[in-house]
Structure 1
């Protein structure tokens, strides 16, 4: 061990939520990035202010795991100084199959610790599925949207990991070829602060400081074309929209679905999952998509124009659901199907309680954060819903992120 008091040798025991790993030093938990379970690393303690845990940065691998590989992005490699490692590929040093097992471990642990599920339940043993084109592949070239930053010297790049310091890079291996070719990595953009590069059905758009020189963009999912704002939300992985649409359609129990009920697509964006319901159950269904961003609901209204009973509402989801609860006529929602795709922070206990009070027949939850899903799972279970199924997808290879689709039904509600 080096003489410096902040340099320590750590043995990594397991993975934690957020793309870091767990070690112990003098009885205290230490969170460490750029490593993986089973390794021994030399690390620098960088945050020792909290009593419950410390943070460290990996300097050197002393005993490597057999699952360690050369980093897919040299700009994030362990060979670089920790302060100069580009963020956005924090699992890029781990073999893909092990990445997926680690993500499954995080999801399983969250469902047990925060969701209250039994550790022996098959619902907590979820495999993280690769996307069709990534199966057996290298997990590269999937990002159709990249946000970069510009430093005071005009240099373009991602932020350093856990920092707001711009790191100039020569390549973007997680981006599609079109995105990588269009990104102005070697330009000097003096006075700018951000660069967004977006690929869609229409081609590639480069927007500096949010300035887009085009109208709506278009994305095709199956036989449908969706319009959206140039920098509006859309799934990042090139296969994500189609894969999640299929997963949501599969998660909906057809025996519980009522086409005439007031079905809901909450945090609906431009109407992807409302369209999913219509494509499975027919364009005569009733469905309301709710989104706080008015430009998104404008596009949703256009995207869902062929669905007779569809409407797009601009409102905060919590306010919309609360207003339903004040209407008094809640019985009509007992046959409804609700799809919700909340932000990374989740729906939250208050909204879950108000939604459960409507007693919809089933709820399909699209989650991009395991802990948020688990907390909302606990709230749903305490409000009379059972977790019926959960699937997880590796829509962010070489990062710690994972997407899940969970289905809930009313406890004791059995339909033939």
Structure 2
């Protein structure tokens, strides 16, 4: 007798969109939120509004409606902020339909100095609210060389263009996977702009990466829909007098001046009186060794430092890039695995070196997280230099470090991503 099939479960009907989605509202914009959106309220509910500025009154369309908050896109500016300007990227202008606005320059409609003030406010709010840390009154977001002169354009040395089904390339629209055709890339360096294939159709491409290293010619690398790409190409980046080799598609700071800026900031942040070149110094999430080299260049060839990175190709390059220091080594490992049990497994001599260590921490945008922080503080390093590309993630980690007795002794912020909402923080923390 054949087996009886179980009865089919009735399929649930697709959830209907919230009735508020698509509604147009007049909103008074009162503040800035993390993530490049502004804050308004409608009948007591928080509404996060894109393409607005605090102090403005706008007409906006609701795009998402949750129980605790809504999201909306600005359709028309009814009362403009004095800090509003023509968008630096015509294809991202508020005059276009929101679904057709290029993403990646969400602050481009705001005067550059006021962008930095809004980023400062986001960082201060995150640190105050989440880590109970009050930055100093003179805490500001610092400009990088040349950005004021170019109004925050011409800085990107890496650009990824997406390809649509018909082969058109361009950026995604904000908060979507719709490819937007564009005629220019104002945030890109001149070298990138010269090779950008904006009018070219790519029949089988999924993306086109444009890379302009500081040494050598700019490259265009096409990845096809099946995921295949040309063989990896090594490139050279220069920071001061030092060269760094890496894969053309490997991670490197995007702003043309970011690597040099962060190198100097890390060197400045480390307290020389607390630094021991023989200690178990660490560079976590080390990439190709940029920040480990910054430490080595400041404290000499005998500096002992271990760079830890999960991407094996980057670790191979880091070993080459750090070969000047006899005590430097590069390890391929996930950071959370590397630090797990580090304090327990150490000999008495090594525990002493851990306690004398300087740790450079440069995690991804999500932050280091509790598992890494908990294990790291068990080694009791003398000082931690934390490089953060997300103020909220940093504030979460700073709260964990604070609970373990590590307080912020210095804090700087850098505008590594002009005309976007992103901001870079760099802090030194030591035990209280």
Interval of TM-score (by shorter of Structure 1 and Structure 2)? over 0.9
Identify the residue that residue 123 of structure 2 maps to in structure 1.
107
CA distance in 1, matches of 2:155, 2:79: 32
User: What do the CA deviations read for 1:206-248 (whole angstroms, capped 9, x no partner)?
Assistant: 0001624563111000111000011000000000000000000
* Structure possessing the higher radius of gyration over alpha carbons: 2
1:314 pairs with 326, 332, 339, which one?
332
Identify the residue that residue 63 of structure 1 maps to in structure 2.
79
Identify the residue that residue 311 of structure 2 maps to in structure 1.
293
CA distance in 2, matches of 1:213, 1:77: 38
2:143 pairs with 108, 113, 130, which one?
130
2:357 pairs with 309, 315, 336, which one?
336
Q: Is contact 2:163-2:169 (8 Å) kept?
A: yes
Q: Is contact 1:212-1:230 (8 Å) kept?
A: no
Is 1:147 matched with 2:198? no
Matches within 5 A, 1:221-240: 221-240=239-258
Tell me the matched-pair count: 404
User: What do the CA deviations read for 1:262-290 (whole angstroms, capped 9, x no partner)?
Assistant: 10000000001110011101011100000
SS of the residue 1:170 aligns to: coil
Q: Is contact 1:219-1:227 (8 Å) kept?
A: yes
Q: Is contact 2:144-2:416 (8 Å) kept?
A: yes
Is 1:169 matched with 2:185? no
- CA positional deviation for 1:332: 2.2
- CA positional deviation for 1:404: 0.9
Identify the residue that residue 220 of structure 1 maps to in structure 2.
238
SS of the residue 2:254 aligns to: coil
Identify the residue that residue 105 of structure 2 maps to in structure 1.
89
Q: Is contact 2:341-2:375 (8 Å) kept?
A: no
Q: Unaligned regions of 5+ residues in structure 2, if any?
A: 1-20
Q: Is contact 1:206-1:212 (8 Å) kept?
A: no
2:218 pairs with 189, 204, 209, which one?
204
Q: Is contact 2:106-2:420 (8 Å) kept?
A: yes
Instruction: Return the TM-score normalized by structure 1.
Output: 0.95
CA distance in 1, matches of 2:239, 2:341: 32
Taking a change above 3 Å as real, the CA distance of residues 42 and 174 of structure 1, as seen in their structure-2 partners, is same
SS of the residue 1:146 aligns to: strand
Q: Is contact 2:22-2:63 (8 Å) kept?
A: no
Is 1:364 matched with 2:385? yes
SS of the residue 1:167 aligns to: coil
Is 1:182 matched with 2:195? yes
Identify the residue that residue 19 of structure 1 maps to in structure 2.
36
- CA positional deviation for 1:134: 1.6
Identify the residue that residue 282 of structure 2 maps to in structure 1.
264
SS of the residue 1:110 aligns to: helix
Q: Is contact 1:392-1:405 (8 Å) kept?
A: yes
Q: Is contact 1:108-1:125 (8 Å) kept?
A: no
Q: Is contact 2:266-2:291 (8 Å) kept?
A: yes
Instruction: Return the TM-score normalized by structure 2.
Output: 0.92
Q: Is contact 2:232-2:247 (8 Å) kept?
A: no
